[in-house]
Each structure stands twice: as C-alpha cells, then as structure tokens.
A and B are shown apart, each in its own frame.
Chain A
Amino acid sequence: MSIAGFEVEVERGTGLETEQMTLNMGPQHPSTHGVLRFVIKADGEVMRRAVPDVGYLHRSIEKISEKVGYHGFMPYTDRVDYVAAMFCNQGWGMVTEKLADIEVPKRGEYCRVIAAELNRIASHLLSVGTMILDIGAITPFFHSFREREKINDLLEELCGARLTYNYMRIGGVAWDLPPGYEEKVLGFLGQLEPMLDEFHDLVTENTLFRGRCSNVAAIPGEQAVAYNLVGPNLRASGVRYDVRRDEPYSVYPELEFDVPVGTGAAGSVGDSFDRYAVRIAEIKESMKILRQCFRQIPDGPVVAKVPRKLKPPEGDAQIRVESARGDMSWYAVSDGTEFPYRCKVRTGSFAAMSIIEDISPGLMLADLVTVIASLDIVAPEVDR
C-alpha cells in the first residue's frame, strides 16, 4: 500500500498490522566512518534487514596501479586504508619483492615492523575510541585520540607524514630511524601502559558499555570463516589465527608475541565486546613486539638496491599481510614491463562489510552502529 507517496509493506494476519519503515542510513551519517550507506528495513526500533551499499569511496586504485610504475604506485597504496597505511605500503612492497625476487635487508625489515606495529596501535586506538563515541560516551574518545596523536608525532618524525606515510619502498624503507628514536618510542610505550589501565577502568568495566556490547551481533567461528572475516574480528570469534604467527613474513618469526582470542568475557564468544577486548589485547601485544624490535634491530642498510625502472619477470604472486584490520591479501600480475599488469587487494573491511546483511536481522537500530564500529569498518578500504 502507499501512504503519503511512500510504498510501505504491511504485515497481515497477525492481528496487529505493523508497517516496515525503510530507512536510509548514509552516505552522510555521523557514525558510518566515512561514506557508507545502509538501506534498513525497520519495524520500529528493530531491524528486519540492513543492506550495505558500498562504492561511494571507489577511487579505482587497482586501475591506477596499471598506469603508474611499481615505485610510483607506493603513495597510492596509502589511500587504500588511510587509518593503517603502513600495512598497505608493506603489502605492496612485499608482493613486488616476491615478483622481482628482491631481498630486503634485515634492518629494513625491522624498520618496517616498528612502523607497522606503531601504526597498528594507532589504528586500534582509533577503532576503540570511535566505537565508544558511537555508543555515546565522549571522553574516552578524546583519551584514545590523545595517545594516537603521540603516535602520529612519532611517525611524522620517521617519515614526515601523519596519515598517508609513504614510508616503505620496494626493497626496504625510505629512511632509517632518526637519532634517539628508540628512547622516544619506549618513553611513549611507558606512558601508554597506565593510559590503557585508565581506559580499562573507564570503559571496559563500565556496566552501560558492557550492556550495549555484550551479546550484540555474536558471530560464531564457522560463520566468521565462511565470510572470510579476518584479523581481530576473526580472533574475537574464537579462531586463533594470525598471519604474523601462522604464515610468518618479515622478521615476525624472530619475535615473541601472543595471539589473543575472544573469550566471551561479557556474554557470548564473538560478540561486540569480544571484538573490542581483542583489540585492546592486541595493543598490548604490539607494545611487546616494539620493545623486542628495539632490542634486536641490527645495523646495516635499510633498503636494497632496486633498479629505477623495475621490470619484474612475467608471472603472478600473492602475499598476505596482517594489517590492523586483518589479513590483507595482495595479488599482483607482471607482464614483464615496467607497469604492473594487474593488482588486486582483498581487505579486511570488505569481508566485514559483507557479513552485516546476514547478522543484522533482529538487531536494534542502535546496535547497527555498535556493529559497524566493533567490526572496525573503514570505508576507503571497502571500496578502494
């Protein structure tokens, strides 16, 4: 039937006729973390279905790769996921090195890991901060962003940029660590620790926060695997898998760290609270890794000798990087010329976005916001 020009569905036969409302959330909406759109069928406050509509941030980065050279594509990879750009840099670097058989010097690998783990902490801080902001508390957001600002300062000192780093190069990194960097990073880690405790008191133990997150959109392990959920989202569902540990790359085999998984501390395994808790635990693991890196980092060059006009031999290669949003798969094809023939990146947010339609029925409108935030969806990463 039609009311005031709008088509509405009417459930009949239940005695109570209820109309489902079609809600359009986005592309501009305060909690869609970029430009996302959901078309929601809602029965009052309860969602019957939420269909994601992506593509608003599609910048054809894969197509661009075919027009710029191997070196020239590096700055573009920053834009794949601008919250955790180091991992995209690293992914492109690694897949090209695999194509062209380039060995990265040991110190270069350590520099990469240091930059990446700092970026992971920054990304997780942003993720938990915005999640709490979406749930309605304002102050913890500022606390987490204050710490993220310090990481931005550290990364700025390392590579001159605060968001789109373009730090890594094919065969290593662009610059060695600046003098006194170790003291600065370790000093920062020293004061991040009490901040995490404070955050824990303010947020993790907060009854209202737990009430909003526990049992909301619990994703069982099998479903998470079927949808190829990766990274913290997969681990929150109880699957102990981390590319850094299980398919080691770079210098991760030399480093000691745990892989935290969701335990269902506030409800069922794989709910929004578990995803939050896993991220907080991963921040601590990254701090552990950073401390080890500074102990073990050898001297030497940071970048291998790579020709200006890189022409990898014909063939294809695939690598996986554990980004802040999980396993990021890079697949590149070379046709022997100086331009990549094809580059494909499968990101964590893409999978996380596709699962929302399946888990949305029965959730409340306010829960959708929690789910988007707890899955840590970053719109540019979905659309590329």
Chain B
Amino acid sequence: MYNKITAEDIAALKKIVGNENCLCGDEINEDYSHDELGGIEKMPDCLVRVQTTEEVSEVMKLAYEKTIPVTVRGSGTGLVGAAVPIMGGILLETTKMNKILELDPDTLTVTVQPGVLLMELAAFAEENDFLYPPDPGEKSATIGGNISTNAGGMRAVKYGVTRDYVRALTVVLPNGEIQQFGGKVAKNSSGYSLKDMVIGSEGTLCIICEAVLKLVPLPKHSVSLLVPFADMKSAIEAVPKIFRSKITPTAIEYMSRDTILFSESYLGKRFPDTKNDAYILLTIDGNTDAQVDADMKQLAELCLEIGALDVYIVDTEERKKSVWSARGAFLEAIKASTTEMDECDVVVPVNKVDDFIKFTHSLADEMKVRIPSFGHAGDGNLHVYICRDELGDKEWEDVLKKCFDRMYEKAEEFGGLVSGEHGIGYAKKEYLKKQYGETPIAIMQGVKAVFDPKNILNPGKICF
C-alpha cells in the first residue's frame, strides 16, 4: 500500500531541506523511534527537519506523489505513541520551526511556528505582560504538539484548554497545499470550524505550520494554597464546594502523600509539608493584591469549614517553586519509582473524581499492583498510573489490560471519556473505538479520508 523510500526520494528530500536536515538509517538517533510512553517503537526510514512552511509543502508534495507515509513529531513528549512512525516512512520534525513571528497587542494574539516550546512561549508572553493560559505539565513540549493533542494543563479550571486559545492555523494538507483555517477574529460562525477539527487531530489531518494564539493580560497577583485533609475522600469532596463559592481558582490539583514522597525522592528535595495523607493545591489570580487576598481568605475559610486540617499559604516565588516544582515532577517521579508503567488519562465529571479514585484503590488491591494517581481535581482529568514493579512479562501484559479495561469501563459508567488531554494516538485507540462505537468512528474516518485520501499522514492512529 505504501511505497518504500528510494535513493531518489532521499536525494529529492535533501534538495528540499538540505543534506544536514535529512537523515537516514543509522544516522537517526534511536529516540526518534518512540515518544515518552515507550513500548510502541518503530524507526522512521528517513528523518526530515523542516524549517519553513514551504519546505513542509514540498516534502508533502513528494510524499503524496510517491505515497510515502509521513508522521509529524515535535519534542516527542507525547504519552500515547502518536508521533511514532508505525508505518516507517518519513518522520517530519518541526523543532527547527521555532520562531515567535509576531506579537499583536491590538488583537491580543501571538503568531508562532509549531516548534516553539511551551516554556518559551510562556516566558515570551510574560515578558510582554501577557499570559498564555494553557499550562500542561510538560513545558518542553512544542506548541504544535499541544495543539495536536488539545493539551489541557493546570489552569484549565479557570482558563480552559489549548483549543480555547487557538485563533487560526496555517496548515499544509497531505497533498502539499498550504491553507489557513480561522483568523485573528474573536468570533467565527463561518461554516464548519476546520481549525477546531485540526486541534486534537494528532497529526492525522494536516501539518500545523503556524498558529495564531490568543493571549490574556497577565494577572498581576497570584497566590496558591496548599490545603491538607485527613484523607483523599474529604479532599476531593471539598472541590464541588469550592466551585459553589463562586471564586474560580485557576487550578485545583489533588495529590496524595505517597505521590509527594515519590517526588521528594526523585527531586532529592523535601516538600514543605508531608504530615498529612491528602492535599489539594489551588491557585487564585487577579489584578489587585486586595482582590486576591480577599478571595484567598474566603477560600481558606471555606476549606477550614469543610474539614481542611489547615490552609498553608504559598505566596512568594520561592514557595510557589517549592510546591509547584514537586507537582510538575509527579509523572517523572512515579516513573522513577517503578520498572515500567502505563498511564490512564481519563476525564470524568468533577463530581465523580472521588468515586473514581476510590475505584482505582480497590482495583489496585484486587489486582495486587500499585496504582498511584494525581491530577486535576478541578476539571475531572485524572492521571492514573499502573506500575509494573516486579511483574514478569506475561503477568504485566495481563494485569495492564485488565486494569485498563476496568478503568475505562468505570469511567464510561460515570459519564467520562478516554482521554482528558494526552490524546488517543496509537495506544488508546481500541478504548476509543470501544467507547464511541461504530458511527462516531466512521465519521472520524470519513473526515480523515477527506483531508487525507491517500492516508499517508500519521497512518494507524486515533480511528484506524
């Protein structure tokens, strides 16, 4: 079905991107065969590092004509194998397209190339007194990757997710045609939103080459509260009550003592408090100190009323760093605590978070595996990890499948969905199919066929 890359194709690709940006065979580092998930691996036949939209267009024209599969890759920080070139072919890396092209203070937008890293964009926005609100934990991910997975992050409770901040996309279609979807406009009812179809499409529909992103004025003040509870149940039960207080924190994260201890040993740095079993970490922001202080007091009082053991004030740069850097390291810390792990990134209605966590605890007991978790209590997006520890190959495979089946089943029962922010990629597509059923998957396949009739762009992902 697909053609193998020939020496002639390589020569043509080298002509487009330059010899140094087209690597083959042993020249390609093993890292390019997988993302952060591991377990799903395949080396590309050819790694192409593009620098301009025109280069992307030329590469796609060639791939389209020769029917060569193309998989797009940013920093490779994905967690579902979406950027693994499972059919071989060309791996198109966008990290050299890393320029911030324009800051438009009149429309509150910034135009970037897809290889700009989230941390670079965040710092740039801040330097200019703006905030780019999406805040996924992985700061070295590219913006292209964030858009492709509709990444969420820790400020979603107040500010929403990546989709809410994408105004326009310049894309290259599988046949090499360059198109722009959306515009620097705040409203848009002009037909199907193709821009929104591309967001979260994990590189299966087209290649994002430029993005116009919305910014908000940088809130002048913020304070976080670390709130200890006697157990996870009371911690999670506090969340809906916080919502009802009508103060919207930017983030509401939950964390258990176990996870904090993993993070301590991973970072080699003590967390400011580990005396209690469960914590909620929340942040409030605003433009005046007085407003933030008033909100802080109201929330702190509420937390104490509903059973918090105390409320710790995280108000300076150093304190925020000590708490949030531990939170940021949870994924890596859990990874370091075991031999292998896999993650379930389900999202459930916020009032079901507690029930779902309790379910994972009983599942862990039943299956005799460790299932630590942490996540966004404020938006129902949980990160649940099944740890292999000392299990043998066969046993691990078996336990993993059973755990995933049971967790996705439970999430569905609660009205939840397969992925909150990591995407489907390759690893979770069976669960998506199972939950959505035939018709939605057929519609997705239809959309894919219209964008990519030869199915050369990131084949074998999401709905195939």
Decide whether A and B are members of one complex.
Answer: no
Chain B residues with a Cβ under 8 A of chain A: none
